[in-house]
Structures are given as structure tokens and as C-alpha cells.
Amino acid sequence: MTDAPETTAAAQTAGKPPYRHLYLVDGSGYIFRAFFAIPPRMTSHGLHVNAAFGFTNMLIKLLRESDADGIAVIFDASGESFRNALYPAYKAQRDEPPDELVPQFAMIREATRAFNLPCIEKQGFEADDIIATYARQAREAGIDVTVVSSDKDLMQLVGGSVTMLDPIKNRPIGVEEVREKFGVTPDKVVEVQALAGDPTDNVPGVPGIGIKTAAQLIGEYGDLESLLARAAEIKQPKRREKLIEHAEDARISLKLVTLRDDVPLEETLDQFGLKEPEPETLKGFLERYEFRSILNRLADKLGDVVPDEKEAGKGLPLAAPAPAAAPGPLADLAAPAPAPAAAPGAPAYALVRDEAALEAWIAEAVEKGIVAVDTETTSLDPERAELVGVSLATAAGRACYLPLGHRTPSEGEADLLSTPEQVGGSLLEGQIPIERALALLRPLLADPTVLKVGQNLKYDMRILAKHGVTVAPFDDTMLLSYVLEGGLHGHGMDELSELHLGKTPIPYKAVCGSGKSQITFDRVALDTACDYAAEDADITLQLWQVLKPQLATRHLTAVYEVMERPLVPVLAEMERAGIKVDAGILRRMSNDFAQRLEGLEEEIYKLAGRRFTIGSPKQLGEILFDEMGLASQGRKGKSGALSTGADILEQLAAQGHELPRKVLDWRQLAKLKSTYTDALQGQITADGRVHTSYSQAVASTGRLSSNDPNLQNIPVRTEEGRKIRSAFIAEPGHTLLSVDYSQIELRLAADIAGVEALRQAFAEGLDIHAMTASQVFGVPLDQMDPATRRKAKAINFGIIYGISPFGLAQNLGIEQGEARAYIAAYFERFPGIRDYMDRMKVEAKERGYVTTLFGRRVHVPALLDKNPARRQFGERAAINAPIQGTAADIIKRAMIRVPPALERAGLKARMLLQVHDELLFEVPDDQREETAALVKEVMEGAAAPTVNLSVPLVADVGQGASWAEAH
DNA sequence: CGGCTCACG
DNA sequence: GACGTACGTGAGCCGA
């Protein structure tokens, strides 16, 4: 090995090393960082091994996934180094390492030897100097060098064929990263360090100069000596004096931070070529410290740990890129390399095709105690979706895809002669049978010691529940983001990835296409599917790593853990339950509407003098305002067209015009037909029920939203519309029970704004709108007329929304001046309201968000907009959000408590729907009364014990065979 | 795909 | 005095 011809530049080496890429691992640096970065971990004997475990995994990763064909691990020798002779205080004030860490120093050396890697240290020198020495030698010998460390003191080595790799973040550190950190190129790093100093190592530097200033000075003067020589030219007096006064400190600092690259060393470069580890030694080491996941992963190399391996290497979950050069001695430790030349830094993901591989991933997840999970299906609608595959991620950049239901791509059009198999496609080979795979996954996904991380896990839970798989415990990155940054941006994975990881995930469109040529995920080729699906799990895990720690630091743990996370399984169950809908009623209504619409259309055309598209605001506007010359309020929309909204048509109708009235009637029926009676029929599934989907991370205030279909906006305000609710029915022998909060937002406004008169009224159970009317308009309660009460009611709503004279005038159809006077009278009577409004505006402007009584943050970025309209919009939102948001918090708390309360009481009711202040249940007839009382009690007490409201919460109960009757 | 309109709390 | 108006949603239709 040593007989290769020497190069002149490599005079110090004993021969030309038989490798091309040398990895110099900073063992001492690693252990400190790993100790604090990796969660605590103990052997059964109580020995702390977290840093050693991380180190071992890191070595395996290097051996398998990098192109390293030479490795040396470098350590600090015990005792002082030559730097102490230069400057006695150097590293003098360092704390003793923690007790749990001390024994791990030896373990890491043991690990290094177990992998048959050289362990290098030298008295009187630090690891960094040794690394610098070998890096220089390797560079001169034409060998690429990667320094595995994140130590800033090593960054001076970067450049040319030398790069660094942060082993904990698994991130390369190149010239760019160094420049980001120090503001200069690597060759100037020591100059900057010398000026800035380093308090942790007691490197003095020049007082008052940090990295920023140092970089700027070095950028200007080139190097430390030139700067010191010309220090008198510095303009800032303080800085000039300090530089002159501390010039000698700076020179000593330079010597302290400059690494020696001439350390006399026994081991030479040619000894660092990879050698196969001794299986018994390695196995002994792994067993001694109980690194079971690693034992499993290396099972095929070490024998008999996982007995039923069929092909060597096949079960290994690690995908390694093919070595660039001839395979090194450990190449055979590496998994087969399916990954082609990927972009630098782009991880190659593993495709799991046999049970052994799946078991290895599961074992790794168990070992890690955390795994990100994502399912791929044939549809976004969980009711119709079929499971196609599952992806798992166990660490950043480490993920796999488990295909389960991929089929042959269907070719061409199906015709009458096609067999069902040709239409449906046949299951591809090389996939673990789905039930077998799920049998393996089931214990992992239910394992109480393994945290499952997902993005919008409710969806995956519903899919997996169909196969009898439950997921617990779990975290949801979408909800983490929602709790942390609700109101600032959306919480979809692509958006979060861009935002937090600076990475654009593979677009779904790129995999499945779009529009007419879109295919379902089960028709995607396995390799493509793997890239896409495993990336999702990988990103999800990385998002968790970014987001989860922020919960505690921003004091949002309770919001997440008490109100959001526990709601997920509750919502999943409500969605799964669905609500029974009588299609016959809807069909008959649709037919009725169709007939009446036809009649109305004839009349409208007659009145207009011609046929036109009534549903087109543009055409209607032309008829009304141009052809018929009706006077309008002149309100215009963004497109510049005059508005034909209901309020405008209402005014025109009030002026005695026939056409606007007819159009209003037509619109009402058209809306009911298209949005409700027609659309809902198509949403009824095979069980005769409609299953909505709740979005938990959409509404900025903390509310839920309902979609596909939206069951939170089923008509109720008009007689005609309410009929649609009669189609929502209970199963035979059951009753629908509706329990809704009475005036919850107004009650909360009274509490939050501290309006004593309102609180009093609620406490006494008075008619709150009548009370308001008597206060504001001076009418005694016993003489209250409906019109006055109606005005007061509008004002009360206005308060909740962030009232304005214009809005109130609009709502009541009165002059703005009159509305202004009402508001003034209101504020006069209830001054707490105005104080509250001002407080919210100030708070929101200072902090960017307002909070609910339960601590939820609602961000209102519009408050800082320079456009006054948008800013005022933000002000109103800031006023409304604590009220609406607190109400949302309360009903969420109730929803979480109701199912276990029913369970304890032995009641069989199912919670079906939530409509902001109402919960709808399907109850066995004989349990109506008991269930109603229980639900009412839970809802009324839902703020306690976290918040003690100064107003009572009241929930009203209704029941009947249909939602129309129950409401 | 944005705008308009309208259903709900 | 600007700016364009009540807070929060989702869905269907029209027309570019």
C-alpha cells in the first residue's frame, strides 16, 4: 500500500493514499454538541449514551451515504495545549462537562475503534490543529477533504478541495456558509476572530468589536496587521482608541485562533483508507450499549439478529449513492444504490418492497421514538379515498416510501371489451400485501413510546381507520403552525416548507398531472411516487423539528395540547359519522324550485323586454341601469360595474319596481337549488349520509370551517330555506338533538370589555337587546317596541364586529349621522366598550397579534398596512378576534369533553356537526333527556376551570326528527 | 381563476 | 384627510 509513487507536495506522507475523499471527523466537537442536541437516552443499567448513540449513527451515515473512502476521527488530548503557554487564560473558565457526558468520551473512542477507524489525538495539541495538519497534507496530495464538524474555529480551513459538514444538522458548510457567519472569505476568518475575540474560549480580541465590525474592518484594511498599523485613521474615536490600546491582545488572539497545520503526527494519511470492521467487535460494542436499532440495521452484516434476511443488503433502509470511485472496503456495508446522481444535498429516499426492510424502518422508528407518517391515496376526499402507500421519516433526510396499492397504468381508453382488470389496472408486483404491511405498521402507529408526526393527520387517521389502524400519540405540524402563526399565512405543507425550510416540495401536479390528463396516485410509477411521498414525510419531520420547540418558548403549549391536538380525533369521528340526509326530500325540492324558476324567468324576460342571463351580474346591471334607467346607489365593485347585490335590488324594489323583486326571488331559489338541494344529493354516500370535512387550520380566529360540503351554512333564516333542514334526519329510533350557546359572543364581549351593565343583564337573565335599547334610547323596558329593539340588536352585533357609523347605517338602512349618534349614545352608556376597542388596537399594533381568554394568538398583519382602508380593516379584525376566538375556544373545549362524558354516562349519542355555537347530536330516542342535560352541562361549563367568566354561559336545547325541528 | 353574490354564525 | 367599510367562513356561477 505504501509503494505508490510519492508526489513532491506530499513529502510528509509515507505514500500516496489509496483513496480520493478523506473525512476528518472532529470527535471532541461532535460529542459536546450531540450531548445537548440529542434527547437523553439510557441503557438498562442507567448509563447515559445519547451522544455516543448519535456518534455511532453519524459514523454509519458517513460510511453508507457519503462517498468517504478514507476516514479519521480526531480527538482533543487531555491536558493543556501549546495555546496555554501563549495565553494562560485560554479556555481556562470552561465548565466541567456534565456527569452524564464524561463516560461517553471513552464510548466514542470505543465506537470509532469498533468501526475499525483510526482514533487520533496528540498531547499538547487540540483536535483542530491535527485536523488542520491532515487537511493540508491531503490538499497537497490532491485528496478531497470534508471536515465533519460545525466548529467555527475550523471554518478557516474551508476552500478549494476542503469543505465542512455539520454532522447534526447534516448540512454542508462551504465558502458561502462561512461568509454568512463571518462576513469574510474563509482565508480571512482568523483575522475577524482575532478582532472579535471569543468569550467562551477566553480569546480576548478587541473590546467593543464583534464579528460584524471586525468583518467590515478586515474588508476595508485587508488583514489585522495593516489595520493595526493604520488604526489612527479610524474615524470613530472609541473604536480607534480600543484598537490602539488592545493591539497586542489582537495579535495574541490571532495566534490563538490560527490553527497549526504542522503538528508532528505518527499516523500518516495512507493509514486512513477504509477497512472492513470486525463483525464481532462491532456487534459487541452495539450490544454493550444496547443500540438495538443499529444492530437491526446492520443485521445482515453482523448475522443472526434478524434471521429471515433473504438477500444480503436488500433489507437495509439506507439508500446510498454509488461511490464515485472504486468501492472502498466498506462499500459492502452500504445498501444497494438505486439513487442516480441526485442534486447535491438532495436525499435519496428508500423504496420499501419487502417485509424485512419495513421491519428495519419500524425498528428504527421505535428506537428514535419519533416518526413522521404520511399516506398516499386515490382521492382528497377521505370517504372515497383508497390507501395507495405510506411514507415514513425517522430523521431529517431519512425517509422511505412503502407502496401498497400501486397499479399498472391504464393504457388508452377503456372500451366495451376491456376486462375490469384492464380498466382498474392490476396490482403491481413487488409490493408487500397491504394487510400484511398494515399488520406490521399497526403496533408502531399505536406505540405509546413513539410520537407520530403528520401534516393534517386527521386525513391520514381517517384513511388508516378504515383498515383498523389507530395513530397515537401524535403531533400535527399543520396545527403547530396554526397555533404559532395563525393569521400570518396558510398552513399547507408546501407553504410551510417554503417558509421554514426554504425548500419547494415536488408539486403534486408534476407527479399526477392536472386537468383532464390527471391520474390518481395509484397509477404513478413507484420511483416517482417514492420521491414525492417520502419527501412529504421528510419535510413533515423537519417542520416538526422547527415548529415544536417554539410552542413552549411562545407559551402556546396549552392552546395546542388542550384545544387543538385533542380535537383531531373528535373531528375525525364526527366526519366519519356523517349525517343522514333524505335524498327524496331534496329531489322533490329541486323539482319544485326548477318549476318556479322557470316561471320567474318568463316573468323577468317579459319585464326586461328580452332574454338574458339572469345569473350574470354584468348583464343584469345592463338591463337595470342602462336599458331600464333605474336610479341606483351607484356602488361599484372592483371591476367597476355597478353592484346588483341584494341590498341594492331591495332598494329598487322598495321604490316600486317589479323586476328587482322578481330577480331577488329568482336568486333565492337559484341559490337554494344549486348550492343545496342539487349539490347535496350528489354528496350522499352509500350509507345514506353526508360527510363534511372540517378544516382546523383555516380561520384566523380559531373557528373551524366546514367544506365538501359546507354544512355550516345550511339555510335557516328564511322559511323557504329552512325546509332544506328537514332533509337532515335521524336514523330510525333516533332523534336529532341541537344544543346551542345563547348569545355567546355578546356575553364574552361583556366579560372581556368589562361592561358592568351588560354583565348584570346577563346575570339576571334579561332580554339583552331590549335592555340595550332601553339604555341607549331611554325607552322603559315595559314600553319597548320591536323596531327599537331591532336597532339595539344591530348595535350589539356592530360592537362585536368593530362598529362604524357607515356599517351600522348600512345595516339599519338609516343615515350615517343617525348611526353615529346611536354609537355615541352606546359608548356613553357602556364606556368599557370604547376602552376595550382602543386597547385591542394598541395591543395588536405593538405585538402584531391579539389573544383570546385562553391564550390563543390571532395575528392581524393588516394593522400595519400603510393603506388606511386595509389598516382600519385590521383594527376591526383585532376588535372582533378575541371575542370570536374565545367563543371558538370554548366550544372546542366542550367538543373535546363531550364524547368522554357521554361514554362515562353510558350514553350512545354521536356528535355529528358543529356550527360555531351549536352542536348537533344523533341520540337514541330513549336517551334524549339524559343526553340533552349532560351536553348542556358540559357546554355551559366549558370555560372552566381555565377561565372564570363573569357572565354565565347558557346553552339551549332543541330536538326533533329533523334538523329543522331540532333547531 | 378572480369577482360577485349569498348561505351560515 | 386619506380609504372604502361591520367580523369570520365556503360554494356556485359568470366571463375573461
**pLDDT 10s digits, A861-871:** 999 888 888 99
Average pLDDT on A446-463 reads 97
Of the candidates A683, A734, A686, the residue with the CA atom closest to the CA atom of residue A709: A683
What pLDDT does A706 receive?
A: 97
Q: Which protein residue has its CA closest to C1' of C9?
A: A705
Dihedral angle of Cα A737, A743, A744, A747, to the nearest 10 degrees: -150
Q: Give residues 794-813 of chain A lying near strand C (Cβ < 7 A).
A: 794-795, 797-798, 801-804, 806-808, 810-812
| Domains of chain A by start residue, with CATH | 17-173+268-298 (3.40.50.1010), 176-259 (1.10.150.20), 350-408+425-554 (3.30.420.10), 598-687 (1.20.1060.10), 744-886 (1.10.150.20)
Query: CA of A579 and C1' of C10: distance in angstroms?
Result: 19
Could you count the other beta carbons within 10 Å of the beta carbon of residue A516? 5
Query: CA of A698 and C1' of B3: distance in angstroms?
Result: 21
Which secondary structure element, helix H or strand E, spans residue A772, and what is its range?
Answer: helix A768-777
Nucleotide nearest to A868 (CA to C1'): C3
> Which segment of A37-46, A231-240, A396-405 scores lowest on mean pLDDT?
A37-46
In this predicted structure, the answer to whether residue A405 has a pLDDT above a threshold of 60 is: yes
What pLDDT does A296 receive?
A: 80
Query: CA of A618 and C1' of C13: distance in angstroms?
Result: 12
- Rounded CA gap, A585 and A719, in Å? 16
SS3 annotation, A910-961: EEEEECCCEEEEEEEHHHHHHHHHHHHHHHHCCCCCCCCCCCCCCEEEEEEC
What pLDDT does A421 receive?
A: 53
**Contact predicate A708/A692, CB 8 Å:** yes
Q: Which protein residue has its CA closest to C1' of B7?
A: A713
**Contact predicate A236/A180, CB 8 Å:** no
In this predicted structure, the answer to whether residue A233 has a pLDDT above a threshold of 90 is: no
In this predicted structure, the answer to whether residue A692 has a pLDDT above a threshold of 60 is: yes
Q: Give residues 452-511 of chain A lying near strand C (Cβ < 7 A).
A: none
What pLDDT does A318 receive?
A: 35
- In A435-561 the beta strands, taken as DSSP E runs, fall at 451-454, 474-476
- Rounded CA gap, A736 and A564, in Å? 26
- Rounded CA gap, A400 and A391, in Å? 6
Query: CA of A362 and C1' of B6: distance in angstroms?
Result: 51
Three cell numbers written together for A837: 376597542
In this predicted structure, the answer to whether residue A331 has a pLDDT above a threshold of 60 is: no
Residue A795 half-sphere exposure, CB side, CA atoms within 13 Å?
30
Average pLDDT on A614-637 reads 85
Asked whether residue A709, judged by its CB, lies under 7 Å from any atom of the DNA or RNA strand C, the reply is yes
Query: CA of A806 and C1' of C5: distance in angstroms?
Result: 7
**Contact predicate A865/A876, CB 8 Å:** no
- Rounded CA gap, A830 and A758, in Å? 8
What pLDDT does A411 receive?
A: 54
Q: In what order do the strands lie in the sheet with A398-403?
A: A350-351, A398-403, A387-395, A370-377, A451-454, A474-476
Query: CA of A633 and C1' of C3: distance in angstroms?
Result: 19
Q: If pLDDT is split at 50, 70 and 90, which confidence band does A35 have?
A: confident
Nucleotide nearest to A915 (CA to C1'): B9
What pLDDT does A803 receive?
A: 87
Three cell numbers written together for A925: 330516542
Query: CA of A640 and C1' of B6: distance in angstroms?
Result: 20
Q: What is residue A903's DSSP assignment? A: H
pLDDT in tens, A771-815: 999 999 999 999 999 999 999 999 999 999 998 899 999 899 898
Of the candidates A143, A126, A24, the residue with the CA atom closest to the CA atom of residue A80: A126
Three cell numbers written together for A322: 454509488
pLDDT in tens, A770-780: 999 999 999 99
Asked whether residue A840, judged by its CB, lies under 7 Å from any atom of the DNA or RNA strand C, the reply is no
Asked whether residue A873, judged by its CB, lies under 7 Å from any atom of the DNA or RNA strand C, the reply is yes
Partner residues linked to A914 by β-bridges: A919
**Contact predicate A107/A289, CB 8 Å:** yes
Query: CA of A283 and C1' of C1: distance in angstroms?
Result: 80
Q: If pLDDT is split at 50, 70 and 90, which confidence band does A338 have?
A: very low
Asked whether residue A674, judged by its CB, lies under 7 Å from any atom of the DNA or RNA strand C, the reply is yes
pLDDT in tens, A508-551: 989 998 877 889 999 999 999 999 999 999 999 999 999 999 99
Chain C nucleotides with an atom closer than 7 Å to a protein C-beta: 1-15
Q: Which protein residue has its CA closest to C1' of C1?
A: A868
Q: Which protein residue has its CA closest to C1' of B6?
A: A671
- Rounded CA gap, A251 and A254, in Å? 5
Query: CA of A664 and C1' of C15: distance in angstroms?
Result: 22
- Rounded CA gap, A890 and A966, in Å? 22
Mean pLDDT is highest, among A93-97, A241-245, A543-547, for A543-547
Nucleotide nearest to A869 (CA to C1'): C3
Length of chain A: 967
Q: Give residues 61-90 of chain A lying near strand C (Cβ < 7 A).
A: none
pTM score, whole prediction? 0.67
In this predicted structure, the answer to whether residue A108 has a pLDDT above a threshold of 70 is: yes
CA distances from A222 to A66, A158, A248, A420, A896 (A): 37, 19, 18, 76, 65
Asked whether residue A217, judged by its CB, lies under 7 Å from any atom of the DNA or RNA strand C, the reply is no
Query: CA of A709 and C1' of C9: distance in angstroms?
Result: 13
- Rounded CA gap, A61 and A71, in Å? 12
What pLDDT does A77 receive?
A: 86
Averaged pLDDT score across all residues of chain A: 89
The owner of cell 332523534 is A735
Q: If pLDDT is split at 50, 70 and 90, which confidence band does A80 have?
A: confident
Residues 6+ apart with CB under 8 A from A826: A772, A776, A795, A799, A833
Which secondary structure element, helix H or strand E, spans residue A372, and what is its range?
Answer: strand A370-377
Asked whether residue A57, judged by its CB, lies under 7 Å from any atom of the DNA or RNA strand C, the reply is no
Cβ < 7 Å from nucleic strand B: A 617, 637-639, 641, 643-646, 649, 664, 667-668, 671-672, 675, 712-718, 721, 884, 915-918
Phi, psi of A545 (to 5 degrees): -60, -35
Nucleotide nearest to A617 (CA to C1'): B4
- Rounded CA gap, A31 and A151, in Å? 12
Query: CA of A29 and C1' of C8: distance in angstroms?
Result: 52
Average pLDDT on A70-87 reads 88
- Rounded CA gap, A198 and A214, in Å? 12
- Please, what sign has the CA dihedral across residues A63, A67, A69, A73? negative
Which secondary structure element, helix H or strand E, spans residue A763, and what is its range?
Answer: helix A756-763
**Contact predicate A158/A176, CB 8 Å:** no
Query: CA of A710 and C1' of C13: distance in angstroms?
Result: 17
Chain B nucleotides with an atom closer than 7 Å to a protein C-beta: 2-9
Q: Report the percentage of chain A scoring pLDDT > 70.
A: 92
Q: Give residues 560-589 of chain A lying near strand C (Cβ < 7 A).
A: none
Q: Is A421 exposed, middle or buried (0-12, 13-18, 19+ CB in 10 A)?
A: exposed
Q: Which protein residue has its CA closest to C1' of B5?
A: A645
Nucleotide nearest to A680 (CA to C1'): C11
Asked whether residue A693, judged by its CB, lies under 7 Å from any atom of the DNA or RNA strand C, the reply is no
